[in-house]
Structure 1
């Protein structure tokens, strides 16, 4: 059965104006400015959006699907993130990862949770590895994990410039990056090295050295949390024109913090003249947001959710930025970097991952792979153990 969506103010993510879409078998079958004539007997539904914005489902490349935390003892380990915690905020594709705790959490459990989210209706992939070296893997090899395990698209989040990292050397990072790059070539996957940046003064120097002293392509280095320090963010803006995509984390920032919020970072990145296509925004959903003292002891903590993405989107639109300008860092840019060919855009042949925004720029209807997950702000589909 088919779904006909009419009178959508379509952002694909570029502005297309009022359009009509035909959806079936989990895909967008047709998009047209003219009304689509379909035999009513073939239609499961006809939905008139009356000019409401229709945007691609958000692609969140940094999510602790098994739960993050654990940096102040076992009692601070977070629970796995449930399905509706993504879809409620317009997220239809996620890339899961391990963080600080790659000891009691494993690649096997990460793969299992990734596959569970797929069974529940989300599109999901994962990074192999965690903060530390030698990298946590399932097969014993980063290259083999990427080549042989379908959902694994790259390596992450390897920690650098952070007191929680394994303090990797230049040679260790170079050798690991070469494994990731070759694995991507062999498997036609992203082959990206997703790098956690800490508060350390070395900042992005390890990445600059890899780019200067190896033949590895810039596109494979994807540093994240680059807005956690203002000086680090300036480094990221200088790195992007060379071909690396940098990732901003949509976390809350207090007025006295030496950091930029997701919205502030988006504005400053574009003001810097860096290529717009070299910026992505992720949520760190399910992850711990710790604050440490200068001795490495945790002072306080919070946990991130995918709401950070829609909060950032709404804030930027509230500041007067165009929806077509803001959307790519949450959709198309992410999908292109990660080589997810049917994600991040709305066009015939693409997966039917669709989000309708309300007048507050918040998701009111969310479709993932052709199935309505949220209608009128209410979750129609929940995870197996929700509720």
Structure 2
């Protein structure tokens, strides 16, 4: 058992100074003062002057690596366990991107299991950018129903020269398969959508909603801060009932080419009347961050960082005056709710004991607990792993 004493608790809503009691992997009580006798196995954690917040939920990470758009030397490495923990991330969703030939779903699943063995909660999407959808079992429904870690499909690429240029009918079919698999398995069954900077933007999502029985909320489009044009389309999509996700990993060159930094995109979305519950941020960790010229030739490539998720949260609060609970929801409660992870992303009785302890002034991550187990007690004290998992 662990007793977190006198923390400023953000559930992510602020509920003031509280004690939080954890037994095993779950939160069992939150109260003004929990006074229990010290017994064998009880650990007391003094949280005076600290924020106690839900562990972050990163809805898009290339845990087994990605990239390759510039040839074999541009393949990005796997995500190290420590990268997630340093950034306060306790739950994440692994995906494939452009490459589903040398990057297999089997390898993605193996990496997910390795990270889970070290204490993180890890889920995956079947498929990748392309259509027909690559699967392990031969069907989207079977992958979602029969493989515990698989909760949806993606990233399916739209408005991107690297995608399959699929029709709205094909996308509707993918969404229907994901939805049925999710319903039968009790999972989210969402379709993660990679949005490029192509001329069609988000039009195909509206076409599916207009001409089929699939709702906009079945899709989870990311990279909505890619350009000002896509961002405005994202505002309209969210107001129509869809969800939008902003990517926190970026580079100075990508920003100079027109991307809107995720914290600023969040501020603008809220100012434009988008409900905070429709907005999330994700890191796109260990993805390639490519820059192409007008002929589609790769001219620069860097690697996405999972720790950018925490930094975007800090920047939203410190630089753009986004209310702290609203900013926190975009990386905790909102992605968990959208993906159907009922016990994640919030601090409440019965929820998983995924906890990050932050400095109240700087918002720096100081300690991280996942399923009640301490994974980090200061940046220099991270739970050891084998072979830099």
* TM, length-normalised to structure 2: 0.96
Task: Write the mapping of 1:353-368 to structure 2, written as runs, cut at 5 A.
Answer: 353-358=354-359, 359-368=361-370
Q: Distance in 2 between matches of 1:110 and 1:50?
A: 40
SS of match in other structure, 1:40: coil
- Check conservation: 2:125, 2:150, Cα contact below 8 A: yes
Whether the 8 Å CA contact 2:205–2:216 is kept in 1: the answer is no
User: Structure 1 104/252 Cα, relative in aligned 2: closer, same or farther at 3 Å?
Assistant: closer
Of residues 311-320 and 39-48 in structure 1, the stretch that sits farther from structure 2 once superposed is: 39-48
Deviations 1:223-256 (A, max 9, x none): 1101011100100100012221111101235463
Moved more, 44-53 or 54-63: 44-53
CA distance in 2, matches of 1:322, 1:45: 32
CA distance, structure 2, for counterparts of residue 294 and residue 47 of structure 1: 55
Instruction: Tell me which residue corresponds to 2:353.
Output: 352
Alignment of 1:106-145 (within 5 A): 106-145=104-143
- Shift of residue 379, structure 1, vs aligned partner: 3.5
CA RMSD after TM alignment? 1.3
What does residue 28 of structure 1 align with? 27
Pick which of 210-219 and 53-62 moved more. 210-219
- What residue is the counterpart of 1:378 in the other structure? 380
Q: Please give the residue correspondences for 1:180-199 in structure 2 after superposition, counting only pairs within 5 Å.
A: 180-199=178-197
Instruction: Classify the secondary structure of the residue corresponding to 2:330.
Output: helix
Q: In structure 1, what is the Cα distance between the partners aligned to 2:119 and 2:29?
A: 22
1:336 matched residue in structure 2: 337
Matches within 5 A, 1:1-387: 2-33=1-32, 35-252=33-250, 254=252, 256-319=256-319, 320-358=321-359, 359-386=361-388
Give, in angstroms, the shift of residue 7 of structure 1.
0.8
| Partners of 1:124 and 1:151 within 8 A in 2 | yes
Structure 2 counterpart SS, 1:23: strand
Q: Separation in 2 of the partners of 1:313 and 1:164?
A: 30
Distance 1:88 1:74 in 2: 29
Point out the more displaced range, 150-159 or 350-359. Answer: 350-359
Q: Deviations over 1:22-73 (max 9, x none)?
A: 112111111101x212121144321111121111000001000101111111
Q: What SS is found at the alignment partner of 2:135? A: coil
DSSP-derived class of the 1:260 partner? coil
CA spacing shift, 1:173–1:318, aligned 2, 3 Å: same
Give the distance between the partners of 2:3 and 2:183, measured in 1 at CA. 39
Unpaired segments of 5 or more residues in structure 2?
none
User: Could you tell me how far 1:263 is from its partner in structure 2?
Assistant: 0.6
Give the distance between the partners of 1:325 and 1:242, measured in 2 at CA: 20
- Contact 2:246-2:265 within 8 A present in 1 as well: yes
Query: How far did 1:135 drift?
Result: 1.0
Structure 1 consecutive aligned stretches of length 4 or more whose deviation exceeds 4 Å: none
The alignment's TM-score, normalised by the length of structure 1, stands at 0.97
Bigger shift: residues 88-97 or 310-319: 310-319
Which sits farther off after the overlay, 309-318 or 225-234? 309-318
CA–CA separation in structure 2 for the residues paired with 1:300 and 1:236: 27
C-alpha separation between the residues in 1 aligned to 2:225 and 2:233? 10
